[in-house]
Amino acid sequence: MKRIHLIQTIAFFSALLLFQIELIVAKLFLPNFGGSYMVWGACVVFFQAALMLGYRYSQAVVEKFGIERYRIMHAALALLPLLSFPGRALPMTFDALPWPLVLSVFWHLCILIGPVFFVLSTTSVIWQMWLAASDLPERNNPYVLFAVSNAGSLVALLTYPFLVELYLDLPAQQNIWRAGYLVFVLLQWWAFKIIPVKAAKPRKVELKPVKPARLIHWLCYSAAGVMMFLAVTNIVTAEIAPLPLLWVAPLVIYLVSFILNFKKKPYCPRWLREDIHSVAGFAVVIYFVVQVPLLPVLLDMLLLFLMNYLVCMHTQYRLYQSRPGDHRYLPFYYFIVSVGSLLGGIFVSWIMPLLSTAYAEYFAAFLVIAAALLTERRRRRVLPGILMAFTAIILMMLWPQLFSQPEVRFTWIQFAGLAGLLVLVPMVFSNMRDHPAAFAGCLAVFTVLTPLIETRWSLTEHIYRYRNYYGAGKVRLADGARTLVHGTTIHGSQYVQPALEHIPLAYYGYRSPVGELLQQDVIRFERMGIIGLGIGTMATYFRPDQTVDIFELDPDIYQLARTRFRFLARAKGTVRYHTGDGRLLLGEVPDGTYDLLVIDAFSGDAVPVHLLTREALDLYRRKVKPDGLVLFHISNRYFFLGAPLTATARSLGAGAAIKEGPKTQELDQSSLWLAVTWDPARLSMLGREWNWSKVSPASPRIRVWTDRYHTVLPYIEYSNLWRDSMSLLQRLNAPVR
């Protein structure tokens, strides 16, 4: 093996291990801390912050001790994590701490994988410095190792859901990862031994300060790339088509853009290197077009992925072009880039949901690029730039009134207007190339006015919009009813007329499986528990003698259900509301409490698997009475969850029955429900009284879901996936559940 190949292997392998440990730990934390966005958000911020600290540490020690002396320190440091995660059995539970959730997650991440994550985060920079100080021919361009590292991250990303998670449980993943880490340590020792560097006396190296303009470039371009890929992820997975594992695509594009720009022979189209302005104009039109069902869903997705690719390619090219030629600045360069990435991630994930009801971070990414352009010397004629920015804004504001027609979804007039926009708006933006202030101001206006312009483009009247850490939702008014929608997912509908508002709609109509069970008088459900509130449609069926506990993860959903809909206000009986993860809250309920427990927390592709594992079902078994029912709402266009649920229930000695409800009126949705019970008599009664079908014994090939193993890939309905991807009007006419 050539010595350069050994260094490349170390860089590749360290990034692969780093990325896979993120995915393993995120999966590990879910059943212990719940499905709250705060948990995943805290994990992401921790990973980015640890990476930034690793870069900062690398910079400090190399400056103080020199790269040659640091060899011994780094080799010893690599052994430290053996006292933590790689050297111990994987913990499946964590001690409860009297701290806020985010701090608790941070603490457990620190003690679980903090040391190993820190070591791996220093590897890429250290080996780039080592290569630069070696006698290898490749020493003149150590940045190539950054492309190799991103290739390792890409392989980790693609192999985890499609290979590792599919075939291995968490303990097996841990053991293989541990073996991989030991191989990584040995490879480093070998490389340190056979690849010498020029010895230098340890002294503090005085480096000239980096110019502020270059610092701004590093910060802005690194932040903009992260912001764009996260923005496209949010839009595609929440608003366009919540397809399985679709979140992987924008991240793949982001990683590929690094590989292409930092490889030995960098690639970036010549026109894209300078003309981000036309891309911004095209992106503005695309954002609002995908809000209206004029194009096939697949085309909408491809257009957004194209925008993601173009922006990331431009930002990564700018980062590569502005890299320091003096390799002594290399650790500082990566530190600043990691700071920008961290700030971009925090802005999109933690700040933007509080500032805008739309996905305005899409425009904010371009605004950050515009901020970098303000540092460049260009002509700054104010008036022409203002006129061009004003023209772009007016075009986007007036298009719906000029070319859309009421009650007509798409016509040749609309397509003609759209074609005109796709030509005019990029032209206007392109002419702002010499007017960076106008370019930035125009994008700032779009960032602020995104909800307003989006509303003007919408073909449906939205009477209320909201966004928080759990997603963005709209209450739309159509067909005489108010409907809560998350992207393509309908969460419930209610008639506007007071005389009709008591009628349950959507998945909970009188003829639905859950509606029939809640109306009947054969079985008495005096105590009920419901995980997932929606708009509270099931409250229609509550009776004066019933006590109902409702568990809802999203605190804003409860306020929305009370203020925008009337089902909860009309509810009879005693209703108690609990905010938080249903599984965690249910653990505090006394055993044998409920006659009926309803699990209705599914939406789109966001399957809360931690509510469906063997450990979760065992919890439900304890919380219901011996003859109690556990009812799962498993309606989903893209997954058939009945198979793994049945296998998991049978592993605990339970029986299962399934029933699909018909769509009896215009505002109803067909629904699929699965009942689980440990009482054979109750199971027989479901079939005899209400025509539920007993589920046949699960195939031995269907693996039981546990907290240690679960994957949705084998249960994807590929025919529905393809049909909806090609559908012209899927987003409005065939909502995903």
pLDDT digits (tens, 9 = 90+) for 342-393: 999 999 988 999 999 899 999 999 999 999 999 876 656 666 767 877 788 8
Verify that 192 and 240 share a domain, yes or no.
Answer: no
In a domain, 541, yes or no: yes
Please answer whether residues 286 and 231 qualify as being in contact, where contact means their C-beta atoms are separated by less than 8 angstroms.
Answer: no
Verify that 97 and 226 share a domain, yes or no.
Answer: no
Q: What is the pLDDT of residue 39?
A: 75
Residues 6+ apart with CB under 8 A from 351: none
- Confidence (pTM): 0.91
Verify that 189 and 215 share a domain, yes or no.
Answer: no
Radius of gyration, alpha carbons of the chain: 28
CATH number of the domain residue 628 falls in: 3.40.50.150
Q: How many domains does the chain have?
A: 3
Q: For residues 492 and 316, what is the distance between their CA atoms, to the nearest angstrom?
A: 43
Verify that 188 and 262 share a domain, yes or no.
Answer: no
Q: Which of 165, 197, 229 is the endpoint of a domain?
A: 197
In a domain, 702, yes or no: yes
Verify that 175 and 216 share a domain, yes or no.
Answer: no
In a domain, 472, yes or no: no
In a domain, 651, yes or no: yes
Q: Which domain holds residue 240?
A: 210-459
Verify that 134 and 264 share a domain, yes or no.
Answer: no
Verify that 552 and 653 share a domain, yes or no.
Answer: yes
- Within 356-411, where are the H helices? 361-373, 382-403
In a domain, 205, yes or no: no
In a domain, 146, yes or no: yes
Q: What is the pLDDT of residue 639?
A: 82
Half-sphere exposure of 621 (CA within 13 A, CB side): 19
Burial 386-398 (b: 16+ CB within 10 A, else e): eebbebbbebbee
Q: Give the position of tokens 């919890």.
A: 619
Verify that 582 and 687 share a domain, yes or no.
Answer: yes
CATH number of the domain residue 147 falls in: 1.20.1250.20
Q: What is the pLDDT of residue 717?
A: 78
- Within 475-633, where are the H helices? 513-519, 555-563, 582-586, 614-623
Q: What is the pLDDT of residue 393?
A: 82
Verify that 429 and 503 share a domain, yes or no.
Answer: no
Verify that 278 and 326 share a domain, yes or no.
Answer: yes
Verify that 494 and 635 share a domain, yes or no.
Answer: yes
Verify that 451 and 552 share a domain, yes or no.
Answer: no
In terms of Cα–Cα distance, which of 401, 522, 377, 406 is closest to 453? 401
In a domain, 466, yes or no: no
The maximal CA–CA distance of the chain, rounded, in angstroms, is: 87
DSSP state of 698: P
Q: For residues 604 and 624, what is the distance between their CA atoms, to the nearest angstrom?
A: 28
Q: What is the pLDDT of residue 490?
A: 83
Q: What is the pLDDT of residue 116?
A: 87
Q: Which of 163, 197, 231 is the endpoint of a domain?
A: 197
Q: For residues 474 and 462, what is the distance between their CA atoms, to the nearest angstrom?
A: 6
Q: What is the pLDDT of residue 105?
A: 80
Q: What is the pLDDT of residue 543?
A: 94
Q: Which residues of the chain have pLDDT under 70?
A: 1, 34-38, 83-101, 199-207, 242-244, 293-294, 377-383, 385, 401-412, 459-460, 603-606, 664-668, 697-698, 700, 721, 724-737
Q: What is the pLDDT of residue 731?
A: 44
In a domain, 476, yes or no: no
Number of H helices, E strands in the chain: 26, 12
